[in-house]
């Protein structure tokens, strides 16, 4: 199965396709009441907030677990569209928020990061305990990298947890993506946007733990590299940004994946340079690569003006459905 995506002719270029999808395109949004929130206590005394769709449905129907991207949540345009697609199919869906992303600051002296496969494993275990039917997992951008990192680490054991996995626009080579985000338009637009929320959240952690990191160094950070050097890397056990980006990248473990996995990346994604995308000889036989020429970063707008962003989630769920027994 393949997906022959083509971007609308009136919306050229990866940046336009990225920004339009996130800010202007129509999605099958859900009313607030459609999400049901549940709080899970974590083993380290913290909590994770999980938003559900079709939470109360019973029977052997699939459960889709969606892992959001950097600074994402259940309000993100892709989350809304995946939820709508799952609801239409009669699937249950769970969106576990990474630490601090649910609208309430978390408690532990940590946040979240691109390679946190241990957190993915714990979240999937909770879902497995709460659901009797087949489990499917999808990850967007950062969440996709973390999910594939988990799948590679788990190897054959992943079969005991999920039927299939899908990543969308994951930065599989974090060094390549990090360098791209630190230059030109990416730095002045996307990086600035991310840091507008990342810095305040980090400063909230400093109120909880006054000696956690250097406040002045954080305020002086104007790139993701600098931010990760001060905050993300040391809080999560990495020596520095270079060590974090190297060890957290999923690309080196794609050959170790032993569960059906879809890896979708647009070749004009401004966050993920096309030259660093995996080739067929770098992944296991369980991995399917979709690399359309266009789509941007978690964009993939479709249709005449005004475009919608439902085509990609629909294609991804169609693929995941082929992994079901």
Structure confidence by residue, pLDDT tens digits, 264-285: 999 999 999 999 999 999 999 9
Rounded to whole angstroms, how far apart are CA atoms 313 and 167? 11
Rounded to whole angstroms, how far apart are CA atoms 281 and 11? 33
Architecture of domain 14-172+250-321: 3-Layer(aba) Sandwich (3.40)
What pLDDT shows up at residue 198? Answer: 98
What pLDDT shows up at residue 27? Answer: 65
CB atoms under 10 Å from CB of 140, counted, come to 27
Q: Answer yes or no: 297 catalytic.
A: yes
pLDDT tens digits for range 249-265: 999 999 999 999 999 99
> Which three-class secondary structure state does DSSP give residue 250?
coil
What pLDDT shows up at residue 242? Answer: 98
pTM (predicted TM-score): 0.97
Is 90 exceeded by the pLDDT of residue 306?
no
Length of the chain in terms of residues written: 325
> Which three-class secondary structure state does DSSP give residue 106?
coil
What pLDDT shows up at residue 146? Answer: 98
Q: Which of 266, 313, 299 is nearest to 11 (CA)?
A: 299
Q: Answer yes or no: 141 catalytic.
A: yes
pLDDT tens digits for range 100-127: 999 999 999 999 999 999 999 999 999 9
pLDDT tens digits for range 4-41: 999 999 999 999 999 999 988 776 667 666 899 999 99
What is the domain partition of the chain in residue ranges?
Answer: 14-172+250-321, 174-248
Q: Which residues of 147-169 are buried (b: 16+ CB within 10 A; e: fewer)?
A: bbbbbbbbeeebeebbbbbbbbb
Confidence class for position 60, pLDDT limits 50, 70, 90: confident
Q: Compare 25 and 184 and report the one with higher pLDDT.
A: 184
Quote the mean pLDDT of the chain.
Answer: 96
- Catalytic residue selected from 49, 51, 228, 269: 269
Backbone angles phi, psi at 164, to 5 degrees: -165, 160
Rounded to whole angstroms, how far apart are CA atoms 69 and 78? 10
What pLDDT shows up at residue 77? Answer: 92
Confidence class for position 57, pLDDT limits 50, 70, 90: confident
Q: Answer yes or no: 114 catalytic.
A: no
Q: Please compute the mean of the pLDDT values over residues 52-57 and round it to a whole number.
A: 90
- Catalytic residue selected from 141, 167, 177, 249: 141
- Give percent above pLDDT 90 in the chain: 91
- Catalytic residue selected from 76, 167, 297, 310: 297
What pLDDT shows up at residue 159? Answer: 94
Q: Which two tokens stand for residue 271?
A: 């966050």
DSSP summary character for residue 189: I
């Amino acid at each position: 199965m393949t997906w022959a995506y083509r971007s609308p002719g009136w919306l050229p270029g990866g940046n336009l396709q990225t920004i339009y999808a996130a800010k202007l395109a129509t999605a099958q949004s859900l009313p607030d009441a459609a999400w049901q929130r549940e709080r899970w206590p974590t083993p380290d005394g913290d909590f994770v907030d999980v938003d559900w769709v079709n939470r109360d449905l019973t029977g052997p129907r699939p459960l889709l677990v969606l892992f959001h991207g950097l600074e994402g949540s259940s309000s993100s345009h892709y989350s809304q569209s995946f939820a709508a697609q799952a609801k239409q199919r009669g699937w249950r869906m769970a969106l576990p928020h990474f630490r601090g992303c649910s609208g309430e600051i978390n408690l532990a002296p940590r946040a979240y990061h691109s390679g946190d496969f241990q957190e993915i494993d714990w979240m999937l275990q909770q879902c497995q305990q709460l659901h009797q039917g087949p489990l499917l997992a999808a990850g967007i951008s950062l969440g996709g990298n973390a999910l594939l990192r988990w799948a590679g680490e788990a190897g054959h054991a992943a079969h005991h947890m999920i039927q299939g996995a899908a990543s969308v626009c994951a930065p599989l080579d974090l060094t390549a993506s990090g360098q791209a985000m630190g230059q030109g338009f990416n730095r002045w637009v996307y990086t600035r946007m991310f840091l507008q929320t990342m810095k305040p959240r980090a400063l909230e952690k400093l109120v909880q733990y006054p000696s956690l990191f250097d406040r002045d160094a954080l305020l002086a950070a104007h790139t993701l590299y600098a931010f990760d050097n001060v905050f993300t890397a040391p809080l999560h056990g990495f020596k520095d940004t270079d060590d974090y980006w190297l060890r957290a990248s999923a690309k080196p473990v794609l050959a170790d994946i032993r569960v059906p996995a879809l890896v979708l990346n647009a070749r004009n994604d401004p966050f993920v340079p096309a030259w660093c995308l995996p080739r067929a000889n770098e992944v296991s036989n369980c991995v399917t690569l979709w690399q359309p020429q266009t789509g941007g970063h978690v964009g993939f707008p479709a249709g005449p003006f005004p475009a919608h962003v439902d085509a990609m989630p629909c294609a991804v769920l169609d693929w995941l459905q082929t992994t079901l027994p």
